Every structure is written in C-alpha cells, then in structure tokens.
Amino acid sequence: MAGQQLDLFAIDRIKVELEGSPPQPPLRAAELTDAELVAALPDAGVTAAPRLAAEASRRRLAGAVPSLEKLCRRLTGFGVDRLVPEQLAALDALANIGGEAARQAIARLLAQCIVQGPTVAAALNAAARLGSSLPPSRLGEFLNDAEPTVRAAACRCARSAGPHLGLLIKPLDDLHHEVAIAAALALGRIGCVEARPLLLGLLRREPSAEIVDALARIADEEAIVTLGRVARAMPDLAPPILDALDQLGDFRAARVAAALRAHGSARNGFA
C-alpha cells in the first residue's frame, strides 16, 4: 500500500518554506521553557525538529509526547524511500521519555501507517524499547516485510504467542543473521522451544545477557550445562546466569548455580 502512495519528498519542502516566508532565526532549544518547547515541536522544520526533540528527550518532558506525535503526523506521506529526519528525532525522543503515553503514541503511529519506508524500522525499534503493543495484523505485515531491518525490528516487538507465532518461527532460518537472532530472542522470551538450538549456538559463539535471558526461559539440561560453562569462562556474565538458574526452579540448575558460587567464592569472582 505504501508503495502506491505519493512520496511527498518529491516536493522540495525547503524551497517552498523559503519562498513562502522570510528566514527565521534558529531556535535555542535549551533556552525555551517547557511550554515553549511543547508549542514549538509540532510545526518544527527539518533543522529545528531534531534540536527541539533532543531537548525534550534530555528533559524527559512527558508533556511533549502529544507534540512529538503531532510532529510525526504532520509528515504523513513523506519518506516512502528515505528516512524522515523529523520523525526519526521524534521517535527517539518518545522512546527516551518513555511512559504509557509515549508507548501508546508509537503504537498509533505504526498502526495507522504514519511512518513509512526506512523510518518504519526506527519506529519498530522504539516500540520494542517501550514495550508497545501492536495490532496482530500490522505486526504480521512487518514480520513479512521485504526489508530485513524491518523484519528484525518487528521480531523485537513480539510479546506473546499469538496469531503471528508461525511468522516468528519462520525467520529462524532467515538468510539475514540479524533477523534470525531477533526471532530466536523473541521466541525464547515467550517460551517457544523451537528457538533453543539457535540460542544455544549463540550462547556459545556470541554470549550476552540478552541471550542468557531468552534461553533461560526454555532451558533444558544441555542449556543449563552450557550456561554454567559460559559463566565460568566469562565472569561478567555470571550474575545474570546465576539469576537465570535460580529462577528455573530445577534441581539441575540449582546444582550448577551452587557449583558456580563455590567456584566464584574460591576465586573471589562473585558471591
């Protein structure tokens, strides 16, 4: 659908603004009051918008959330094939400000196709950071998108085993590594054992706290043993691994955790 819409970037927005009004002095975002900043955001241009949005983000200004959403909506139809700087700045500010209002704002922007093209991946990443809930139909579209960055970001937005579960399992074999990893992490978080082989491989090759968290939810005996080995080899990961093992409520996990604590105590590595 987006490909059939007119890309408003075909219009020279900057030229139109310059011909229609005299040049305006640059806004000093840091000198604006909260109220002035909120009022300036919706109509900010390509130069001012990133500065204003960054200032709203720095202040964690919850009152700016509606204005940031309006800024994005004002640019509906732009960016079919390129990033929209004003929307990118607004999305980043919404993700940094956080809270329920920002969470819902980003969900609306995605559900109503306010962002398009390359900017969609940024919006999905912001939604994942905030834990925004997307309509299953829209999430399914994003999981099937031709662009791998969009598919990977959509995987990060999956919160439950819903109608899109099959679409999450399919990317485990995706030719793009980032998509496969994102799908495995999402499936692990929602308790789907199909992700276990890939997560085990990732734990051995590219261990991280995020992989530990996802694998711990679907850990079997092999995963428990591997978690113990990684904790011994990488003390920085020992705390999250111990937390994961403690939460499993499994006697094998308890034995591995006890051995790790004894090993760490002997080396003064961790308690």
Classify 2-195 by CATH class. mainly alpha
pLDDT level of residue 230 (50, 70, 90 thresholds): very high
Average pLDDT over the chain, rounded to whole?
88
pLDDT level of residue 36 (50, 70, 90 thresholds): very high
At 134-151, the pLDDT tens digits run 988 899 999 999 999 999
Buried residues in 102-113 as b, exposed as e (16+ CB within 10 A): bbebbbebbeee
Torsional sign, CA 170, 171, 172, 175: positive
The confidence score (pLDDT) of residue 267 equals 60
The confidence score (pLDDT) of residue 222 equals 95
Taking the C-alpha atoms of residue 93 and residue 130, their distance in angstroms, rounded to an integer, is 12
pTM: 0.80
Domains of the chain: which residue ranges?
2-195
Residue 93 has pLDDT above 70, yes or no: yes
pLDDT level of residue 271 (50, 70, 90 thresholds): very low
The confidence score (pLDDT) of residue 249 equals 84
Tell me what percent of the residues of the chain surpass a pLDDT of 90.
74
Residue 198 has pLDDT above 60, yes or no: yes
The confidence score (pLDDT) of residue 17 equals 44
Half-sphere exposure at residue 35, Cβ-oriented, CA atoms within 13 angstroms: 0
Q: Which residue blocks in 41-147 are alpha helix, DSSP H? A: 48-58, 65-74, 85-97, 100-111, 119-130, 136-143
More confident residue, 202 or 26: 202
Residue 173 has pLDDT above 70, yes or no: yes
